[in-house]
Amino acid sequence: MRKLRIVARAPSNIALIKYMGKSDSSKNLPDNPSLSMTLNSLCTVADVERIEKSGDHWLPETPRFRPTDLPSDRMWVSPDLSSSGREKLLKHVERVREAVPAIYEKFGIVLDQEAWRGAGLHLRTANTFPASSGIASSASSFAAVTLAVAASFALDEVSWNRVWGEQPELKRALAQLSRRGSGSSCRSFEGPWVYWEGESSWIPSGIQLPEMAHFVILISTQPKQVSSSEAHLRIKTSPLWERRVERVRMRSNQLLSAMRTSDLRKLAQLAWTETWEMHSLFHTASEPFTYWEPGTVEALQYFSSWMGQASPPIVTLDAGPNVHVMVDRNDQKLWLSRLKEQFRDFQILEDGQGLGAKIEEWNTNGVG
Ligand code: PMV
């Protein structure tokens, strides 16, 4: 069997219109469209190595490959996967393996039959941020693993690279597959802005936004008490769930038109409302739950006074306590010092918009 080791990297993404509520849990189909910005250095690296023996394994080791463009203060942590987390990941590896022959045939990529039938895979992953804390680690992890595993059965790098470079539909097919493992991961394959509705995700046309900088005010790195899978179910018990899909559709359209006219103020207001709406669903579910910490409330109070002003930052929260802030890249330095001054007790992570998942290394010696 030919040796092969693939290292793929996928960024996290931050939604301005949230995926919260599934219309079909078995396929991770969303109740409503969502829209996100793809990040850059807040990412997962997945290192997948073919081995002679059958059977796939996730190893609690950090990949030896480390991207060279990460900021120096960035963490590099192998996630501490629970046994159910491992099971979910390995089930997904199996799903990708099963889907590969049809995808390869559709795009004219040559399958390494021997490896596809007989090789096991060793997976090592690392995140540049703490898992489960409201920076979507499942999005970046499932996207990176999907890409690395899918490429692991190619006979040669050249045909894979040609299709990857020339046919964006390959990314979209892998995004659909990745969605089965973690819904929001489908938005991590492209960038900088991705719209997801039903089975498909794509880059919306006509966006006229400046390049964006992104910060996370790291309020807590503790794993969350309520998983996002549980949140997707529980929000439907909230009285505010009624007509949520209708409201969010209208908000998505308003957001898209603000993005097409480069109306950052409108964008900030819509993202703010959407954040509060998602967290209000959490707070009014039966049983109610919250991801907020005292630091989250402090940040929300601070930013609420910005929302009425001429140039507010875009502020949002995922299903976690940490606060995401997006500003025009030209104002990055100004905002970094402002945030450091205002939130002295918390670390500020700095990132920007990105272009999505990619293969970092294609190693036919199999040595990492
Ligand atoms: O992909 P999941 O099932 O982990 O859902 C995450 C959903 C949110 O991050 C809370 C919102 C979003 O659209 O990313």
The pLDDT tens digits of the residues spanning 219-249 come to 998 888 999 999 999 999 999 999 999 999 9
pLDDT at residue 136 in the model: 67
Atom of ligand 1 nearest to the CA of 183: 1
pLDDT at residue 368 in the model: 62
CA of 184 to the centre of ligand 1 (A): 5
Q: Which of 41-55, 117-131, 201-215 has the highest mean pLDDT?
A: 201-215
What are the structural domain ranges in the chain? 5-205, 212-352
Atom of ligand 1 nearest to the CA of 182: 1
Atom of ligand 1 nearest to the CA of 34: 13
> pLDDT digits over 41-74, tens only?
999 999 999 999 889 999 999 998 989 988 887 8
Q: CB within 6 Å of ligand 1 — which residues?
A: 15, 18-20, 34, 136, 138-139, 182-184, 228, 318-319
The mean-pLDDT minimum among 92-96, 158-162, 243-247 falls in 158-162
Phi/psi of residue 282, nearest 5 degrees: -60, -45
Substitution candidate for ligand 1 out of 133, 184, 252, 281 with most atoms within 8 A of CB: 184
According to CATH, what is the number of the domain 212-352? 3.30.70.890
Write the CA distances from 68 to 7, 45, 78, 353, integer angstroms: 14, 12, 17, 17
| Ligand 1, atom 7, residue with closest C-alpha | 19
Is residue 198 predicted with pLDDT exceeding 70?
Answer: yes
Residue range 184-197: average pLDDT? 98
Is residue 84 predicted with pLDDT exceeding 60?
Answer: yes
- Cβ atoms of residues 274 and 17 within 8 Å: yes
**Cα angle 173, 177, 181; round to 5:** 155
pLDDT at residue 64 in the model: 85
CA of 280 to the centre of ligand 1 (A): 16
Residue range 169-174: average pLDDT? 97
- Cβ atoms of residues 323 and 216 within 8 Å: yes
pLDDT at residue 133 in the model: 56
Atom of ligand 1 nearest to the CA of 13: 14
DSSP secondary structure letter of residue 356: -
Q: Residue 329, Cβ neighbours under 10 Å: how many?
A: 14
Q: Is the pTM of this model over 0.85?
A: yes
Is residue 353 predicted with pLDDT exceeding 70?
Answer: yes
- Cβ atoms of residues 226 and 278 within 8 Å: no
> How much of the chain exceeds pLDDT 90, in percent?
88
> How much of the chain exceeds pLDDT 70, in percent?
98
pLDDT at residue 145 in the model: 98
Tell me the average pLDDT of the chain: 95
pLDDT at residue 248 in the model: 98
Residue range 116-137: average pLDDT? 84
CA of 101 to the centre of ligand 1 (A): 29
CA of 248 to the centre of ligand 1 (A): 15
CA of 278 to the centre of ligand 1 (A): 11
pLDDT at residue 132 in the model: 60
CATH architecture of 5-205: 2-Layer Sandwich (3.30)
Helix, strand, or coil (residue 38): strand
CA of 72 to the centre of ligand 1 (A): 28
At residue 129 the predicted structure's pLDDT band, cuts being 50, 70 and 90, is confident
CA of 126 to the centre of ligand 1 (A): 20
At residue 134 the predicted structure's pLDDT band, cuts being 50, 70 and 90, is low
Residue range 118-123: average pLDDT? 95
> pLDDT digits over 288-317, tens only?
999 999 999 999 999 999 999 999 999 999
The pair of structure tokens assigned to 206 is: 């006509």
